[in-house]
Chain A
Amino acid sequence: MSYFVDENGYYGDFGGAFIPEMLYPNVKELGEQYLKVMSDPSFIEEFEALLKDYVGRPTPLYFAKRLSEKYQTNIYLKREDLNHTGAHKINNTIGQILMAQRLGKKRIIAETGAGQHGVATATVCALMGLECIVYMGEIDIARQAPNVARMKMLGATVIPALSGSRTLKDATNEAIRDWINNPVDTHYIIGSVVGPHPYPDMVARFQSVISEEIKIQLLEKEGRSNPDYVIACVGGGSNAAGAFYHYLDEESVKLIAVEAAGKGVDSGESAATSILGEEGIIHGSKTLLMQTKDGQIIEPYSISAGLDYPGVGPLHAHLCKTKRAEFIAVTDDEAMKAGLELCRLEGVIPAIESSHALAIFNVKKFKKEDIVVLNLSGRGDKDLNTYINYFGFE
């Protein structure tokens, strides 16, 4: 069983490039170039230097002592929250901006939901002096004002997506339309392991630095590079792809993907794609997605804007179908409680996305001797308003 992409861009039954002909030359160019570019020594050198000096990598692998005591197991947190811009998203945008430069592109477009990927894209565009246009759903613009301001400070143009449900899925549609209208000079920086091949593989490779570091760091701390479990939250699935990547073929390492159940899997307000999704096509990729019987895409719900996506990357659809990873859905309430618990036990305010992963400890029991690595994908500064409204802190 292979968990990596094949030469046609598929992970088992999932993936491919279901795109209109207008995008074919762009996607083909990227597909032919990305592995060549990524294996070029000058690319590797520049990428690694920026990750070290600009992003602040390697991020620590921190043994969470009090959390471990409470749940009677051994919990390590991979501190992606300590990256520049506050989340793992920048690993990918650094990689893609260098890719865009080498492909001779002058104009960068991106989609964003909560704004984290938009901020990470605006940041690298400022760094490289490239024009940056970020599409964001009109509704998300209203509820994520601080990130909109950040993008503007960084010099990006934020264009509201006014179509459909006016959230992440529609922002992605608008970015794809922009790419259709500007096929020659523009690179589209997709923020997750979604979209047509080669995006899911390219983004997973840029994020794979996460598991590359875990292996080295765990060996230093525990004398072994493989934990018993790796846990990450999944919306589109980029932080999970990065945390799982170098463990995919290590069958002794159990992988757990935590999805957002929203108000409950059966509540009608959920984003638990692995349970509620059916095979279909979204944003150019065959995967699991939430849709009506008639094949119309359903707008999901989660308290976490970063998990509020109706599909999941094709790699994750494959991991789910082959049972290589266990998919578990936790509700808004479970996640919020777990987020607050991390604040109180470890002095770390997690992003609400990461709080979903943390909620695993109330859902699943681990053995005392287990070594569990949890990818803390982002910090909670951006979520203060949501936390305040939920818990009523004043």
Chain B
Amino acid sequence: MNRIQDKLKENKKLLSIYFTAGYPAPDSTVKILQELEKSGVDFVEIGLPFSDPLADGPTIQASSTTSLNNGMSTEVLFEQLKDIRETVSIPLVIMGYFNPMLQYGIEAFCKKCKEIGIDGLIIPDLPVREYNELYRKTFEKYDLINVFLITPQTSEERIRFIDEISDGFIYMVSSASVTGAKTTFGDTQETYFKRIDAMQLKAPQIVGFGISNAETFQQATKYAKGAIIGSAFVKHLTENGVDKIDDFVKAIR
């Protein structure tokens, strides 16, 4: 059983945090993961930085640029994470764009993830069709869960299809936007959250994009299984470094 699947069975609303590996400092990756686990975060998305992150707003873009300038790369990240399972036991997901993975080699990338103890991948620009036809078998061979996204514009038919091929959770993008754009949720989001909830999908939904504080976390998890905070945490890292991570998490729930 994959750690993500175990976690999704727990009878609580899940809090997940995203951060960009290699940010704010080249060697802060492991320290941040340890602090997040200590402060009670349920699972973490480790961002593999990319030069051209299409789905991200300015905050995550800037952290990616700094990280790359800090010398972060796929190889460096794997090296930093090689002993991570000695100190961190919550589920770990790598979130990154497809091109760096393609250059590393998909089979080699998945194999390395398995060795380290990575549980899943979120690849915003890997289309569902290509995944299913070309990469699904490789992901399964290495016990990796691929996480698909849905948005307010995704058709019901496509949501049903995505639900059917999801082995973990569905990443529910809160609004039509890049990351870090919204700071509050209105009626549009509420209606959308309700609509998806009423579909009774088999895969639990975790809401991402636009969750920045206790209020938006509450709103997002009223219907969904959990929520992911990204840009707001990256901003916190920019302002406070790797200290006070516990304060940030405790302020959310």
Contact A293 B103 (CB under 8 A): yes
Interface pair B55/A282, CB less than 8 Å apart: no
Q: B127 touching A296 by the CB < 8 A rule?
A: no
Counting CB contacts under 8 A, is A345 at the interface? no
**Residue numbers in B under 8 Å from A181 (CB-CB):** 176-178, 181
Which of B34-42, B67-75, B82-90 participates in binding chain A? B67-75
Within 8 A of A (CB), among B78-100: 97-100
A291 an interface residue at 8 Å Cβ cutoff?
yes
**B73 contacts across to A, CB distance below 8 A:** 294
| B241 partner residues in chain A, CB cutoff 8 A | none
A284 touches B103 (CB 8 A): no
Cα of A177 to Cα of B126 in the assembled complex, Å: 17
CA gap between A58 and B149 in the complex, in Å: 47
The contact of A22 among B127, B129, B151, by CB within 8 Å, is B151
Q: Is B51 in contact with A164, judged by CB distance below 8 angstroms?
A: yes
Interface size class of B (residues with CB under 8 A): 35 or more
Whether B65 and A164, one on each chain, are in contact in the complex, defined by CB atoms closer than 8 angstroms, is yes
Interface string of A289-318 (1 = CB under 8 A from B): 001011111000000000000000000000
Q: How large is the interface on A (under 10, 10 to 19, 20 to 34, 35 or more residues)?
A: 35 or more
- Cα–Cα, bound, A180→B152 (Å): 12
A177-B57, A295-B100, A295-B102 known; A25+B154 contact, CB < 8 A: yes
In the complex, the answer to whether B127 meets A297 with C-beta atoms within 8 Å is no
Q: For B57, what are the chain A residues with a Cβ–Cβ distance below 8 Å?
A: 177
* A337 to B: closest C-beta gap in Å: 34
Q: How far is the CA of A17 from the CA of B58 in the complex (A)?
A: 24
Chain B residue at smallest Cβ distance from A163: B61
Known contacts A22-B173, A22-B176, A280-B103: A163-B58 contact under CB 8 Å: yes
Q: Are B176 and A296 in contact (CB under 8 A)?
A: no
Render B138-154 as a binary contact track against A, CB cut-off 8 A, 1 for contact: 00000000001111011
- Cβ B55 vs Cβ A18 within 8 A: no
Docked-complex contact B155 and A281, CB < 8 angstroms = no
A300 CB to nearest chain B CB (Å): 13
Cβ-neighbour of B151 out of A17, A21, A164 (below 8 A): A21
- Give me the interface of B with A, judged by CB distance under 8 Å: 50-55, 57-58, 61-62, 65, 68, 73-75, 97-104, 124-127, 129-130, 148-151, 153-155, 158, 173, 176-178, 181
11 contacts between A and B (CB under 8 A): A22-B149, A22-B173, A24-B158, A163-B58, A177-B54, A180-B54, A281-B125, A291-B103, A294-B103, A295-B102, A296-B68
